[in-house]
Structure 1
Amino acid sequence: MPAGSSAKRERQYEHIKKSAQDRGESAGRAEEIAARTVDKERARSGESKSASKTSTRDPKSASQRGGERSHSGAQGPTRDQLYEEAKKRDIHGRSSMTKEQLQNALGR
């Protein structure tokens, strides 16, 4: 957390970090998710020195959006992300599958 953050933002950061770790994210990734989310909330509420257009003009806050834009790029989730999902679902043969094959096996 940046120096001078409010107690509320510190609590928010810790809560988001813990939630991400509970979902199985690594400690580093959980910290990144928490920091980005809190930074965006700070920008929306005018607590930061600078902010991007999407931070200030987006009708939904990051917490309300809940990751609905995740993996929505032109090509969707990466092969590694598909592989991790296949691993969670215990799909056999996943290590030798291509991105397309993983998508088919996951029903995407």
Structure 2
Amino acid sequence: MPRGSKDKYTDKQKRKAEHIEESYESRGVSKGEAEARAWATVNKQSGGGERKGGSGQKKSPEKKAAARKSSARRAAETREGVPRPGSKLESMTRPELMDLARKRDIRGRSTMRKAELIEALG
């Protein structure tokens, strides 16, 4: 037999439990057992009573949009080979150095080795 108040459950969860309970009863399960199984199923599927989703931190739509735009910009810069602030040329890969050399229009970059690119960019 289910225990406790069902006030915290949403209307959808209550309808779902009722439907499941009716299904069990039509198969010959007793009323109490059918109700217990129905609420156990609802709890397993939806995690119990009504919940406020997320971590509890709410951001305004404007802040969400700004954060998303900033994140997208940083990701695009990383893809384009723009060095991150504070990164040293030595820690960059050759393709990243080549992109940077192309942006700075350094002549002869296509034949340079990594060490030569670092020297030319430094």
Provide TM-score, normalisation by structure 2.
0.34
Provide TM-score, normalisation by structure 1.
0.39
Larger relative contact order (CA 8 Å, sep ≥ 6): 2
